Structure 1
Amino acid sequence: MNYRQEKNQMKAVLMTGAGGPEMLQLADIAEPNIVKPTELKVRLKAAGINPIDTKVRSNGLFYPDALPAVLGCDGAGVVDEVGADVLNFKPGDEVWFCNGGLGREPGNYAEFTVLDSRWVAPKPKSLSFVEAAALPLVLITAWGALFDRGGLQDGQTVLVHAGAGGVGHVAIQLAKLKGAEVITTVSSESKADFVLSLGADQAIDYRQCNFAERVNELTGGRGAEVVLDTVGPEVFKDSIEATAHFGSLVTLLDPGALNWSEARMRNLKIGFELMLTPMLRNLDSARDKHVGILNRCAEFIESGNLRGVVGHCLSLDQAAEAHRLIGEGHTQGKIVLEII
């Protein structure tokens, strides 16, 4: 379906209030325009769905008085126009990026978006727009958690929780590219098969056993030098005993109130990874870092050593259904909206 109706109008999915998926409504709105010389306008071909989208929809935007708003941090598309100071992109270039969708800058559940060109990277040629839109946020998150926060090194063991999920499935691959031994947790036999196909060395079905005990069994009692928690407080707490002494325990979430005595006894380094911080705090210096990660991952993708998995591809007018699917938590890989 072609959503374009008339000049200067576009279709977009608007968040009309905080609440359930029904708060997402397809609407006709004005196309955004370039207002700064460093901006470019992108005709979006696909938008990735991430858990942060559903949290913002449920709990409200990060900025007051921003409703209605277009959600979606991940986007891929074709450059339509460029500002006067944009030298590294031109109309027709295919790009991918993670920007907007939190209530201040427009997100990517739309036909067009305008953003600063310094957040944008050339799309890997071997990827479709749908595949590309699935990856920026999870690649930047996994990279930051494993390498910047966790300090993962060749020959170490890493435990990746929820390895079949969005961040988990790329974290497994990035860790293997680093030369690490990868253990991951899953909730089904099919997910175990999936993560093993991505290169994981061991898959632990956490429904069948105590994952911390199993990690220690697999490592001869040592534990994993790096643990990546993508799930939440209970998993974070239980992961302390799965982390090697002097190791790193990194979480994407708030671990809540804890007794830190065992973590202290183990001399653990505790890390937090929130890749949205540069957007939320206007940290322009982080732009180059994020784009650098995307460019480095593009090299891995083009060489066939890294891939993203799209579990569901839906149309723009199915954004509410996409949010319902991600809320169920049973998908493998990512959910993407294709914008035709």
Structure 2
Amino acid sequence: MKTIMVNKAGDVDVLQYQDADMPNHCADDEVLIKVMAAGVNPVDTKVRANGLMFDDAYPAILGCDGAGFVESIGADVEHLQVGDAVYYCYGGLGQKSDAGDSVGNYAEYAVVRAAYVALKPTSLDFDTAAASPLVLITAWEALFDRARLQSGQKVFIHAGAGGVGHVAIQLAKLAGAEVATTVSSAEKANFVKELGADLVINYKTQNVADVLLDWTDGLGVDVAFDTVGGEAFKQLIPAMRLYGDLVSILQFPEDTDWKTLRVKNVRLSQTLMLTPMLKESVELGEHHAGILEQCAQFFDEKKLVVYVDETLPLQDAKLAHEKIEQGHQSGKIVLQMHMDEMEA
């Protein structure tokens, strides 16, 4: 099978398009997926550059997000059948299958822990399905599992035109919240307005905290979801409501104004959707699959969209990583496999 393999950490040149043996064994709790498409995420570029998250993992296949067909199932797998179209976030961090094969989705086939896998929304093609899992789970865990977002609350979401941000806007609106977000251009402002954003802030020309305080009559937002970190995180502190929730997908800056956060009684949370994979938790993997199942219903009811900015063939993984690292991407980049079959 064709894969993108890495043998060490480094720049995009470590991504090697090559042949590898197709996995031919499923443990009792695994499924073999014929991968039709793989989403490319910023975490992929970080793992490539900084190293894998498991020991003795090289050579390895990257890629957390995938979508495809179930080719075979383990003896204990009950919720999936051969031939099912599925989507999932599993692999790409240095994991190995029960047989010792590297698990990642920059490949034509992948062996995946079945607990993490959900049926693909019937209304989505494989490209869009593959673009969805990581951003859906990240946004869901931040807004609902951490911040406990409620109808009627006012929520701020950083970088609303980005992969996580554009999903978070829609999920917050589905929950009945009012949503403010940041963008860097008029084009991106129009994009997030179409998604339902109530307040759009151009962070290049406006003071985010001042605008949020004006929007909330000086009270501050109930929930803030930080996907940027650093100075952007610290600038949110004055705009937090008393007893509000501030959630970040990044580490808190060392020079954070902890005193103000404490006086305001702001509840701080960090969310890392990779935790179930890093800790190899079946229970948490099932929770992730449950999120994908609920979002599949939203997709099929036309209440949720994931924007795919660009599709590329598997062999162009280097280009995909370069585009991600340049930043300012709206929506997602997807790698395609079995393109001859997709075109037929």
Query: What band does the TM-score fall into relative to the shorter chain?
Result: over 0.9
* Amino acid in structure 2 at the alignment position of 1:232: G
The more displaced of 280-289 and 40-49 is 280-289
Residue 298 of structure 2 corresponds to: 300
How far residue 286 of structure 1 moved from its aligned partner, in angstroms, is 0.8
Distance of 2:122 and 2:196 partners within structure 1: 24
* Structure 2 counterpart of 1:98, from 86, 89, 96: 89
Instruction: Confirm whether residue 42 of structure 1 aligns to residue 33 of structure 2.
Output: yes
CA–CA separation in structure 2 for the residues paired with 1:17 and 1:232: 28
Distance 2:163 2:175 in 1: 19
1-side partners of 2:122 and 2:65: how far apart? 17
| 1:302-317 equivalences in 2 (<5 Å) | 302-317=300-315
Tell me the secondary structure at the aligned position of residue 133 of structure 1.
Answer: helix
Q: Deviations over 1:245-278 (max 9, x none)?
A: 1100000001120231111111100000101101
How do 1:1-340 and structure 2 match up within 5 A? 10-105=1-96, 106-257=103-254, 258-340=256-338
Q: Distance in 1 between matches of 2:26 and 2:130?
A: 25
CA–CA separation in structure 2 for the residues paired with 1:32 and 1:86? 18
State the 1:220 CA deviation.
Answer: 0.9
SS of 2:88 mapped into structure 1: strand
Structure 2 counterpart of 1:4: none
| Offset at residue 120 of structure 1 (A) | 0.7
Alignment partners' CA distance in 2, 1:255 and 1:110: 35
Instruction: Extract unaligned runs of 5+ from structure 1.
Output: 1-9
1:119-150, Cα deviation, whole Å (9 max, x unpaired): 11000000000000000011011000001111
Q: Give 2:260's aligned amino acid.
A: E
Separation of aligned partners in 2, 1:302 and 1:61: 35
TM-score normalised per structure 1: 0.95
Secondary structure at 1:311 match in 2: strand
* SS of aligned partner of 2:20: strand
Q: Distance in 2 between matches of 1:233 and 1:281?
A: 27
State how far apart, in whole Å, the 1-side matches of 2:282 and 2:113 are: 10
Runs of 4+ in structure 1 off by over 4 angstroms are none
**Contiguous gaps of at least 5 residues in structure 2:** 97-102, 339-344
What code does the residue aligned with 2:186 have? Answer: E
Q: Which moved more, 1:173-182 or 1:279-288?
A: 279-288
**Distance in 1, Cα, partners of 2:300 & 2:26:** 34
Alpha-carbon distance between aligned partners in 1 of 2:253 and 2:323, rounded to the nearest angstrom:
26
- Provide, for residues 205-229 of structure 1, a one-character-per-residue CA deviation record: whole Å limited to 9, x for no partner: 0000111111111111111100000
Whichever residue aligns with residue 310 of structure 1, its letter is V
Cα offset, 1:116, TM superposition: 1.8
- Structure 1 position 281, deviation (Å): 1.1
CA contact (8 A) 2:26 2:72 kept: no
Cα deviation for residue 43 of structure 1 reads 0.4
Give how far 1:33 is off: 2.5
Which letter maps to 1:298? Answer: A
Q: How many aligned residue pairs are there?
A: 331
